[in-house]
Amino acid sequence: MVRGFVSTYGPLTDVEKFAEAPAHMSFMLGTRFLTDHFDNDRYFGVMRRGENLDRARVQFTLAKQFDESVERLGEIITEVMD
């Protein structure tokens, strides 16, 4: 993904922000699932009550894992750009 982005748009100017993006996106999606759960599942379709709550938990777990991997993701991005 980084190679494709760099080949189209040029080198990344802020590697750290790109490395943090997956954690941010997972957290935001988790927040949307949780909000929808509390709003009686009006936005995201569900087959059962609690499905959006489960989705939120998964996204928050992913956000934590991505957050713990920011340094390594930054290294990977830097390696690809070299």
pTM, 2 dp: 0.84
Domain ranges of the chain: 12-81
Determine the pLDDT at residue 3: 83
Dihedral sign from CA coordinates of 13, 78, 61, 46: positive
Determine the pLDDT at residue 51: 98
- List, for residues 1-49, the tens digit of each pLDDT value: 888 888 888 888 889 999 999 999 999 999 999 999 999 999 999 999 9
Determine the pLDDT at residue 4: 85
- List, for residues 46-74, the tens digit of each pLDDT value: 999 999 999 999 999 999 999 999 999 99
CA distance 82 to 79: 5
